[in-house]
Each structure stands twice: as C-alpha cells, then as structure tokens.
Amino acid sequence: MARRSNIDLTRALILGAAFEIMEQEGLDALSTRRLAARLSVQGPALYWHIRNKDELLGMMAASIYAEARAAVPRAEGWREWLTHYGLALHEAFRCRRDAARLCSIAKPIGDPREAAGAIAAPLVAFGLPEAKALSYQASVISLALGWAIFEVNGPMHAFLGSFMDLGKTFRTGLDALVEGYSA
C-alpha cells in the first residue's frame, strides 16, 4: 500500500480508521502505532491532527454522542426528547463494539463551559434551566452507559437475560427516570 502524505489525512479519516480497529480488534488493540499502520502513514503524521491517544479517544466518544443526538427524532417536549436520546444512546453503545467502555474512560475534549452549553441546548430549547438539563442528561447517559456495559458483558448478559428482557427493562428504567423529573 502506498504511503499517504499528511495532506491526505483528515480527522474524519483518522476517526474512521480508529473505529474500524475498535470494531475488528477491540478497544484494547487501538494504539496510535496500529492506527498509523492502518492509515499507511508514519506515526508522527497523526500528530498533525491529534495530540495523543487521549484526544483520539475523546474525539471517538464525542462522535458516538453526536451520532446518538442526530438519531433523536423531532420531539414535542423535553421528556420526549430525553427519552429518545436515551434510547438512541443505548443503541449506539450496544451496536458498536466497546463503545460503552470507550465512553466510560474517554477524557472529554474541548472547553467545559462550551461543552455544557452544547449538551444542554436541546433541553434548554424546551425551557429547562441549563443546570437541570445537564443533570437530567447526565442521569440518562449514566443509565444507558451502565446498562449497555451489562448487556455486552457475556456472563452478566446471560445472568440478567435468564430472568428479564434486557431491552424492555432498560426502557422501563428510562421511562421511570425521565418521568420522575420535575419540570
């Protein structure tokens, strides 16, 4: 395979290759060295686009959250939006190998205040104060993340699945969580 120049490399290409490695070999196999080899570049070429592996993992996690947000259909209110977001996020964690684990360990990227505003924006648009919007989303994210970790853990999945429908039980918990919030 021909070597790529730094000019050919983009963050999107880097992310795509990183997700391919994670899907095929697992999160533990993902390294900047393996990523550079996948992209047919020298290792230092990656550092024109990402500072280090921590930033790469943060970008990957941000991508998963963004995909879940994009999957949320138009909602009539914040509870409906939050429920759809929880379902979309749960699905994103379930359908991509090691996604839940990645999102549980990745260091967030960017300025925290800017991130908070962007995270809260969909619920703030429905009239919730930013602090409540962040709190409610954090709870839904935690539920989806924890539940997905149970589901992808073979022994835990088998154990829980022997006496409950995991998908229905997640939805029951999500509905109870969201309905329990006060306006």
pLDDT in tens, 33-68: 999 999 999 988 898 899 999 999 999 999 999 999
Model-level pTM greater than 0.75?
yes
Burial of 78 (0-12, 13-18, 19+ CB in 10 A): buried
Q: Which residues contact 118 (CB under 8 A, 6 or more apart)?
A: none
The pair of three-digit structure tokens given for residue 54, joined into one six-digit string: 């921590």
Burial of 82 (0-12, 13-18, 19+ CB in 10 A): buried
pLDDT in tens, 70-118: 999 999 999 999 999 999 999 999 999 999 999 999 999 888 888 899 9
Domains of the chain: 6-50 (1.10.10.60), 71-179 (1.10.357.10)
Alpha helix (H) residue ranges in 26-129: 32-39, 43-46, 53-70, 78-95, 99-105, 112-124
